[in-house]
Amino acid sequence: MSISLCIITKNNQNTIKKCIDSVRSIVDEMVVADTGSTDKTIEIAESLGAKVYSFEWNNSFSDAKNFCISHATKEYILALDADETIAEKDLERLKFLEKEKDFLGFSFIQRNYKNCIGFFSSVSCTNDEYEESKVASCFIPRRIVRFFKNTPKIRFQGVVHDSVEPSINKIGKILETTIPIHHFGMLSRDSERTKMYIEMEKMNLKGDYFQDYQIAIQLHSIGNIPEALQFLEKSINRNPNFHLSWLELGIILIKLNKIKEAEKVLKRAESLGTHEMIFSHLGIVYGILQNFNLSISYFEKSLSINPKNPDVYFNLALTYIQSEDKEKAKDNLKKALYLNPMYREKVESLLSKL
């Protein structure tokens, strides 16, 4: 199996070498599409043996990536962002995929590293097996296809949230793997970049429920609740059976202290799909409504899916505090702190009152 590494860049001089070095031992060529770097990105990439092509940025990540892979000449394509790496111990696992001849694409688990508390569906980095995770308190996992057959029939779609999955699904199958991609970009992402992504999406609206959902969660992340609600309404009207739009709406309603409305919306989400965050937010709702047994039950359901989410342990502790079970409250507060040291101030404050 021969592999082309494909990367799009712009001012990535601080990360491009680490990205390329992490996989260069298994790739046969390195193709970089640069979208206007003014730093040393191009110079570094060329010094590492990459073929660098210039692409005039047109506000579409898919167009840039498709331009990049159009220059790939090998049998398979490994598409990475310039702020991503693959651990050395997983390289042989990737090469082993050549035996899977029935599949055109392979999905990995993108680990989006963050230093925060209360982030959506977070997984603790405490005692994690990967050295890469030591830079963060947690990561947000996302399944993503980044390794696929090199054929003109497989191309990226989507302006911001680009993916090759739709084109692969039309002609073949995707194999899910547990190989992680370590993504460090969210450690330094600011609201201005998120605003840029939102504007890019708005310039290319397609009347698609998933795009509306993606815009809504980005608007929510920068605190623009009114407009986030508008896009969620559009998403739900276009596809009333998409559980994640109902989940996002329920989360916002909790923040707006519309608890009974949140309960109804989250129960709708639960009827449509399974997700740890549906369960955990129903746990929050029933805690506020002082139905403590139901609250605890939903938190436990959430932890059965992701037992390394420190935020759920913290919220479970709050329910135990309300129900006056001090020992279980202490136990769960300590678990939250163990899994995410960023909870220290909150946990120590609560423990001092118990």
Q: At 112, which CATH number?
A: 3.90.550.10
Q: What is the dihedral of CA 286, 290, 292, 294, to 10 degrees?
A: -30
Domain that holds residue 295: 191-351
Rounded to 5°, the CA angle 40-44-49 comes to: 150
50 & 75 share domain: yes
Q: What is the pLDDT of residue 257?
A: 97
Going along 162-244, which residue ranges are E strands?
Answer: 174-183
Give the Å distances, CA to CA, from 207 to 163, 230, 235, 241, 321. Answer: 17, 13, 9, 16, 45
Torsion 269-271-277-281 (CA) sign = positive
67 & 123 share domain: yes
Q: Which residue, of 168, 187, 206, is where some domain finishes?
A: 187
Q: Which residue, of 169, 187, 205, is where some domain finishes?
A: 187
- For residue 147, the cross-strand partners are 78, 106
Per-residue model confidence as pLDDT tens for the chain (354 residues): 899 999 999 999 999 999 999 999 999 999 999 999 999 999 999 999 999 999 999 999 999 999 999 999 999 999 999 999 999 999 999 988 988 989 999 999 999 999 999 888 899 999 999 999 999 999 999 999 999 999 999 999 988 889 999 999 999 999 999 999 999 998 887 788 899 899 999 988 889 999 999 999 999 999 999 999 999 999 999 999 999 999 999 999 999 999 999 999 999 999 999 999 999 999 999 999 999 999 999 999 999 999 999 999 999 999 999 999 999 999 999 999 999 999 999 999 999 999
Q: What is the pLDDT of residue 119?
A: 80
255 & 207 share domain: yes
Q: What 3-state DSSP class applies to 224? A: coil
Q: What is the largest CA-CA distance in the chain?
A: 65
- Helix (H) or strand (E) segment spanning residue 54: strand 51-54
3-state secondary structure 261-276: HHHHHHHHHHHHCCCH
Q: What is the pLDDT of residue 191?
A: 83
What CA–CA distance (Å, rounded) separates 211 from 201? 8
Which of 246, 253, 238 shows the shortest CA–CA distance to 274?
A: 246
- How many Cα atoms occupy the beta-carbon half-sphere of 302 within 13 Å? 29
93 & 229 share domain: no
211 & 109 share domain: no
167 & 27 share domain: yes
CATH number of the domain to which 244 belongs: 1.25.40.10
Q: Is there a contact between 94 and 5 (Cβ–Cβ < 8 Å)? A: no
Q: Quick one: tokens of 38?
A: 């003014």
Report pTM: 0.92
256 & 166 share domain: no
175 & 208 share domain: no
